[in-house]
Protein backbone atom coordinates (compact mmCIF):
# COMPACT_ATOMS: atom_id res chain seq x y z
CA UNK A 1 0.00 0.00 0.00
CA UNK A 2 2.93 2.37 0.67
CA UNK A 3 4.38 1.64 -2.77
CA UNK A 4 0.95 2.12 -4.32
CA UNK A 5 0.58 5.51 -2.64
CA UNK A 6 4.10 6.59 -3.64
CA UNK A 7 3.53 5.63 -7.28
CA UNK A 8 0.09 7.29 -7.39
CA UNK A 9 1.39 10.49 -5.84
CA UNK A 10 4.38 10.59 -8.19
CA UNK A 11 2.36 9.74 -11.30
CA UNK A 12 -0.32 12.41 -10.85
CA UNK A 13 2.31 15.15 -10.70
CA UNK A 14 4.34 13.84 -13.63
CA UNK A 15 1.28 13.05 -15.78
CA UNK A 16 -0.22 16.50 -15.18
CA UNK A 17 3.09 18.09 -16.15
CA UNK A 18 3.44 15.91 -19.25
CA UNK A 19 -0.10 16.68 -20.46
CA UNK A 20 0.16 20.43 -19.87
CA UNK A 21 3.78 21.06 -20.89
CA UNK A 22 5.24 18.26 -22.96
CA UNK A 23 2.07 17.83 -25.04
CA UNK A 24 1.27 21.57 -24.77
CA UNK A 25 -2.39 20.99 -23.95
CA UNK A 26 -3.83 24.53 -24.06
CA UNK A 27 -6.10 24.57 -20.99
CA UNK A 28 -5.52 23.54 -17.39
CA UNK A 29 -9.17 24.57 -16.77
CA UNK A 30 -10.42 21.81 -19.07
CA UNK A 31 -8.13 19.31 -17.33
CA UNK A 32 -9.52 20.34 -13.93
CA UNK A 33 -13.02 19.95 -15.38
CA UNK A 34 -12.10 16.42 -16.41
CA UNK A 35 -10.83 15.64 -12.92
CA UNK A 36 -14.05 16.91 -11.35
CA UNK A 37 -16.11 14.78 -13.74
CA UNK A 38 -14.00 11.68 -13.08
CA UNK A 39 -14.36 12.09 -9.30
CA UNK A 40 -18.16 12.34 -9.60
CA UNK A 41 -18.45 9.31 -11.90
CA UNK A 42 -16.02 7.09 -9.96
CA UNK A 43 -17.55 7.87 -6.57
CA UNK A 44 -21.12 7.53 -7.84
CA UNK A 45 -20.39 4.10 -9.37
CA UNK A 46 -18.42 3.02 -6.30
CA UNK A 47 -21.36 3.92 -4.05
CA UNK A 48 -23.78 2.03 -6.30
CA UNK A 49 -21.51 -1.02 -6.05
CA UNK A 50 -21.34 -0.51 -2.26
CA UNK A 51 -17.58 -0.12 -2.35
CA UNK A 52 -17.77 3.22 -0.51
CA UNK A 53 -20.41 4.84 1.68
CA UNK A 54 -21.53 8.44 2.04
CA UNK A 55 -24.93 10.12 2.68
CA UNK A 56 -27.49 10.64 -0.08
CA UNK A 57 -28.13 14.20 -1.23
CA UNK A 58 -30.23 16.43 0.98
CA UNK A 59 -30.98 20.13 0.97
CA UNK A 60 -28.81 20.89 3.99
CA UNK A 61 -25.62 19.35 2.55
CA UNK A 62 -24.42 22.57 0.81
CA UNK A 63 -24.72 24.45 4.10
CA UNK A 64 -22.94 21.70 6.02
CA UNK A 65 -19.86 21.59 3.80
CA UNK A 66 -19.52 25.24 2.69
CA UNK A 67 -16.91 26.72 1.94
CA UNK A 68 -15.05 23.49 1.14
CA UNK A 69 -16.36 23.22 -2.48
CA UNK A 70 -14.97 26.67 -3.36
CA UNK A 71 -11.61 25.85 -1.74
CA UNK A 72 -11.53 22.44 -3.45
CA UNK A 73 -12.18 23.88 -6.91
CA UNK A 74 -9.73 26.76 -6.50
CA UNK A 75 -7.03 24.45 -5.16
CA UNK A 76 -7.39 22.12 -8.13
CA UNK A 77 -7.50 24.81 -10.82
CA UNK A 78 -4.68 27.01 -9.53
CA UNK A 79 -2.56 23.93 -8.74
CA UNK A 80 -2.84 22.74 -12.34
CA UNK A 81 -2.17 26.29 -13.55
CA UNK A 82 1.03 26.42 -11.53
CA UNK A 83 2.04 22.99 -12.82
CA UNK A 84 1.64 24.21 -16.40
CA UNK A 85 3.48 27.50 -15.88
CA UNK A 86 6.47 26.39 -13.78
CA UNK A 87 9.15 23.72 -13.93
CA UNK A 88 8.55 20.81 -11.54
CA UNK A 89 11.57 21.60 -9.28
CA UNK A 90 10.36 25.19 -8.75
CA UNK A 91 6.74 24.06 -8.38
CA UNK A 92 7.72 21.52 -5.69
CA UNK A 93 9.90 24.09 -3.88
CA UNK A 94 7.25 26.83 -3.86
CA UNK A 95 4.55 24.38 -2.76
CA UNK A 96 6.38 24.06 0.56
CA UNK A 97 5.07 27.51 1.45
CA UNK A 98 1.77 25.71 2.15
CA UNK A 99 3.40 24.09 5.20
CA UNK A 100 4.37 27.53 6.56
CA UNK A 101 0.86 28.84 5.94
CA UNK A 102 -0.67 25.74 7.56
CA UNK A 103 1.60 26.22 10.58
CA UNK A 104 0.43 29.84 10.93
CA UNK A 105 -3.24 28.92 10.47
CA UNK A 106 -3.05 26.14 13.05
CA UNK A 107 -1.43 28.58 15.46
CA UNK A 108 -4.18 31.17 14.91
CA UNK A 109 -7.19 28.83 14.60
CA UNK A 110 -6.30 25.75 16.63
CA UNK A 111 -3.74 27.23 19.04
CA UNK A 112 -1.06 24.65 18.15
CA UNK A 113 2.45 26.01 18.76
CA UNK A 114 5.28 24.33 16.80
CA UNK A 115 8.58 23.53 18.48
CA UNK A 116 11.78 25.37 17.63
CA UNK A 117 13.02 22.41 15.55
CA UNK A 118 9.84 22.44 13.47
CA UNK A 119 10.17 26.20 12.94
CA UNK A 120 13.80 25.83 11.80
CA UNK A 121 12.92 23.06 9.31
CA UNK A 122 9.96 25.01 7.88
CA UNK A 123 12.01 28.20 7.52
CA UNK A 124 14.76 26.17 5.80
CA UNK A 125 12.21 24.89 3.27
CA UNK A 126 10.80 28.37 2.67
CA UNK A 127 14.22 30.06 2.67
CA UNK A 128 15.55 27.58 0.12
CA UNK A 129 12.52 28.15 -2.09
CA UNK A 130 13.05 31.93 -1.88
CA UNK A 131 16.74 31.53 -2.75
CA UNK A 132 15.82 29.39 -5.76
CA UNK A 133 13.22 31.96 -6.84
CA UNK A 134 15.80 34.78 -6.76
CA UNK A 135 17.70 33.12 -9.60
CA UNK A 136 14.89 31.36 -11.46
CA UNK A 137 15.91 31.91 -15.08
CA UNK A 138 12.52 30.65 -16.28
CA UNK A 139 10.62 33.03 -13.97
CA UNK A 140 6.87 33.17 -14.66
CA UNK A 141 4.92 35.69 -12.55
CA UNK A 142 1.56 34.12 -13.36
CA UNK A 143 2.83 30.69 -12.32
CA UNK A 144 4.19 32.07 -9.04
CA UNK A 145 0.82 33.71 -8.31
CA UNK A 146 -1.02 30.47 -9.06
CA UNK A 147 1.21 28.47 -6.72
CA UNK A 148 0.92 30.97 -3.85
CA UNK A 149 -2.89 31.01 -4.23
CA UNK A 150 -2.80 27.20 -4.18
CA UNK A 151 -0.65 27.24 -1.04
CA UNK A 152 -3.16 29.50 0.71
CA UNK A 153 -6.08 27.30 -0.36
CA UNK A 154 -4.21 24.13 0.67
CA UNK A 155 -3.68 25.51 4.17
CA UNK A 156 -7.33 26.59 4.39
CA UNK A 157 -8.46 23.21 3.06
CA UNK A 158 -6.51 21.36 5.75
CA UNK A 159 -8.11 23.36 8.56
CA UNK A 160 -11.65 23.33 7.14
CA UNK A 161 -11.45 19.66 6.09
CA UNK A 162 -10.59 18.67 9.66
CA UNK A 163 -13.47 20.79 10.96
CA UNK A 164 -15.99 19.41 8.45
CA UNK A 165 -14.91 15.80 8.96
CA UNK A 166 -15.63 16.29 12.67
CA UNK A 167 -19.00 18.02 12.19
CA UNK A 168 -20.48 17.31 8.73
CA UNK A 169 -20.79 13.54 9.34
CA UNK A 170 -20.31 12.43 5.74
CA UNK A 171 -16.70 11.22 5.64
CA UNK A 172 -13.92 11.87 3.19
CA UNK A 173 -15.68 10.27 0.21
CA UNK A 174 -18.85 12.29 0.81
CA UNK A 175 -16.86 15.52 0.96
CA UNK A 176 -14.98 14.60 -2.24
CA UNK A 177 -18.19 13.71 -4.06
CA UNK A 178 -20.23 16.76 -3.10
CA UNK A 179 -17.30 19.15 -3.50
CA UNK A 180 -16.99 17.98 -7.11
CA UNK A 181 -20.77 17.82 -7.70
CA UNK A 182 -21.47 21.36 -6.50
CA UNK A 183 -18.56 22.86 -8.43
CA UNK A 184 -18.92 21.06 -11.77
CA UNK A 185 -21.50 23.51 -13.18
CA UNK A 186 -19.70 26.74 -12.10
CA UNK A 187 -16.42 25.28 -13.40
CA UNK A 188 -18.04 24.39 -16.73
CA UNK A 189 -19.52 27.89 -17.13
CA UNK A 190 -16.25 29.58 -16.17
CA UNK A 191 -14.24 27.41 -18.55
CA UNK A 192 -16.68 28.15 -21.38
CA UNK A 193 -16.64 31.92 -20.71
CA UNK A 194 -12.82 31.86 -20.75
CA UNK A 195 -12.91 30.25 -24.21
CA UNK A 196 -10.91 27.24 -23.04
CA UNK A 197 -13.49 24.66 -24.16
CA UNK A 198 -13.13 25.83 -27.74
CA UNK A 199 -9.32 25.86 -27.51
CA UNK A 200 -9.32 22.35 -26.08
CA UNK A 201 -11.76 21.19 -28.79
CA UNK A 202 -9.42 22.49 -31.49
CA UNK A 203 -6.37 20.85 -29.93
CA UNK A 204 -4.70 18.64 -32.51
CA UNK A 205 -3.35 16.01 -30.13
CA UNK A 206 -6.60 14.16 -29.44
CA UNK A 207 -5.75 11.60 -32.13
CA UNK A 208 -2.54 10.69 -30.31
CA UNK A 209 -3.35 7.57 -28.22
CA UNK A 210 -0.48 8.29 -25.79
CA UNK A 211 -1.82 11.77 -25.07
CA UNK A 212 -5.41 10.52 -24.76
CA UNK A 213 -4.32 7.81 -22.30
CA UNK A 214 -2.39 10.28 -20.15
CA UNK A 215 -5.24 12.82 -20.21
CA UNK A 216 -7.67 10.13 -19.03
CA UNK A 217 -5.18 8.95 -16.41
CA UNK A 218 -4.81 12.51 -15.13
CA UNK A 219 -8.58 12.77 -14.79
CA UNK A 220 -8.96 9.65 -12.63
CA UNK A 221 -5.70 9.99 -10.68
CA UNK A 222 -7.23 12.45 -8.18
CA UNK A 223 -9.54 9.78 -6.79
CA UNK A 224 -6.86 7.08 -6.99
CA UNK A 225 -4.48 9.30 -5.01
CA UNK A 226 -7.03 9.94 -2.25
CA UNK A 227 -7.80 6.23 -2.05
CA UNK A 228 -4.10 5.33 -1.87
CA UNK A 229 -3.59 7.80 1.01
CA UNK A 230 -6.37 6.11 3.02
CA UNK A 231 -5.07 2.63 2.16
CA UNK A 232 -1.47 3.46 3.11
CA UNK A 233 -2.51 5.04 6.41
CA UNK A 234 -4.80 2.09 7.20
CA UNK A 235 -2.18 -0.61 6.60
CA UNK A 236 0.83 1.33 7.90
CA UNK A 237 0.57 4.65 9.72
CA UNK A 238 0.24 8.38 9.20
CA UNK A 239 4.02 8.53 9.69
CA UNK A 240 4.64 6.17 6.75
CA UNK A 241 2.17 8.05 4.56
CA UNK A 242 3.78 11.43 5.20
CA UNK A 243 7.34 10.15 4.78
CA UNK A 244 6.38 8.51 1.45
CA UNK A 245 4.86 11.84 0.38
CA UNK A 246 8.08 13.63 1.33
CA UNK A 247 10.21 11.14 -0.61
CA UNK A 248 7.90 11.57 -3.60
CA UNK A 249 8.37 15.33 -3.51
CA UNK A 250 12.13 14.89 -3.50
CA UNK A 251 11.90 12.51 -6.46
CA UNK A 252 9.68 14.99 -8.32
CA UNK A 253 12.17 17.78 -7.60
CA UNK A 254 15.13 16.00 -9.18
CA UNK A 255 13.37 14.00 -11.90
CA UNK A 256 11.50 17.19 -12.83
CA UNK A 257 14.81 18.70 -13.93
CA UNK A 258 14.63 16.31 -16.89
CA UNK A 259 10.84 16.08 -17.44
CA UNK A 260 8.93 18.81 -19.24
CA UNK A 261 12.03 20.48 -20.67
CA UNK A 262 11.35 23.82 -18.93
CA UNK A 263 13.88 23.76 -16.07
CA UNK A 264 16.79 26.17 -16.58
CA UNK A 265 19.80 25.38 -14.37
CA UNK A 266 21.65 28.00 -12.37
CA UNK A 267 23.92 27.54 -9.37
CA UNK A 268 21.92 29.69 -6.93
CA UNK A 269 18.63 28.17 -8.05
CA UNK A 270 19.91 24.61 -7.65
CA UNK A 271 21.42 25.46 -4.23
CA UNK A 272 18.11 26.92 -3.04
CA UNK A 273 16.17 23.85 -4.23
CA UNK A 274 18.58 21.55 -2.37
CA UNK A 275 18.28 23.61 0.82
CA UNK A 276 14.50 23.37 0.54
CA UNK A 277 14.75 19.58 0.07
CA UNK A 278 17.03 19.30 3.13
CA UNK A 279 14.52 21.34 5.12
CA UNK A 280 11.71 18.99 4.11
CA UNK A 281 13.74 15.98 5.30
CA UNK A 282 14.50 17.73 8.58
CA UNK A 283 10.81 18.61 8.94
CA UNK A 284 9.82 14.96 8.54
CA UNK A 285 12.41 13.89 11.12
CA UNK A 286 11.71 16.46 13.83
CA UNK A 287 7.94 16.17 13.45
CA UNK A 288 7.74 12.39 13.75
CA UNK A 289 10.80 11.31 15.72
CA UNK A 290 9.88 9.06 18.62
CA UNK A 291 9.94 10.58 22.08
CA UNK A 292 11.66 8.52 24.82
CA UNK A 293 9.34 7.54 27.67
CA UNK A 294 10.03 9.43 30.84
CA UNK A 295 9.70 7.61 34.14
CA UNK A 296 11.03 10.36 36.37
CA UNK A 297 7.97 12.49 36.69
CA UNK A 298 8.57 14.32 33.46
CA UNK A 299 5.70 12.74 31.55
CA UNK A 300 3.60 15.86 31.71
CA UNK A 301 6.38 17.82 30.10
CA UNK A 302 6.70 15.31 27.27
CA UNK A 303 2.96 15.36 26.72
CA UNK A 304 2.99 19.12 26.53
CA UNK A 305 5.86 18.97 24.05
CA UNK A 306 3.99 16.49 21.91
CA UNK A 307 0.95 18.75 21.85
CA UNK A 308 3.12 21.60 20.62
CA UNK A 309 4.35 19.56 17.66
CA UNK A 310 2.89 20.59 14.34
CA UNK A 311 1.49 17.18 13.45
CA UNK A 312 0.16 17.31 9.89
CA UNK A 313 -2.72 15.16 8.75
CA UNK A 314 -1.76 12.24 6.54
CA UNK A 315 -0.70 13.49 3.15
CA UNK A 316 -0.61 17.22 4.03
CA UNK A 317 3.07 17.45 3.15
CA UNK A 318 2.22 15.95 -0.19
CA UNK A 319 1.33 17.79 -3.38
CA UNK A 320 -2.15 16.60 -4.16
Q: Mean pLDDT throughout 231-254?
A: 69
Instruction: Answer whether residue 48 is part of any domain.
Output: yes
Across the chain, mean pLDDT equals: 78
pLDDT band at residue 287, thresholds of 50, 70 and 90? low
- What total of structural domains would you count in the chain? 2
Same domain flag for 106 and 218: no
Q: What pLDDT is attached to residue 215?
A: 93
Per-residue pLDDT tens for 80-110? 888 888 877 888 778 778 778 877 877 777 6
> Residue 266 is part of which domain span?
59-169+237-291
Q: Highest-confidence range of 159-173, 203-217, 259-273, by mean pLDDT?
A: 203-217
Same domain flag for 148 and 274: yes
Q: What pLDDT is attached to residue 319?
A: 37
More confident residue, 31 or 247: 31
Same domain flag for 114 and 241: yes
Q: What pLDDT is attached to residue 22?
A: 84
Q: Give the closest residue to 10 by CA, choosing from 287, 264, 282, 228.
A: 228
Same domain flag for 97 and 245: yes
Instruction: Answer whether residue 179 is part of any domain.
Output: no
Instruction: Answer whether residue 282 is part of any domain.
Output: yes
Report yes or no: 87 and 20 within 8 Å, Cβ to Cβ: no
Instruction: Answer whether residue 181 is part of any domain.
Output: no
Amino acid sequence: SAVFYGLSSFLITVVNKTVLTSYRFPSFLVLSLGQLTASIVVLFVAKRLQLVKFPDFSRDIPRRIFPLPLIYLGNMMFGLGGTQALSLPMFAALRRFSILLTMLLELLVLGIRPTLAVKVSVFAMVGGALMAALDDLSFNLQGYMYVMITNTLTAANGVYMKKKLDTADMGKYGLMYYNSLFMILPALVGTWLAGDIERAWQYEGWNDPFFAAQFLLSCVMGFILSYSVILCTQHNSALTTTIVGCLKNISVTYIGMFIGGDYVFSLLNALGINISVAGSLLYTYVTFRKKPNSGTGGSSGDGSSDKKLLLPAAGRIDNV
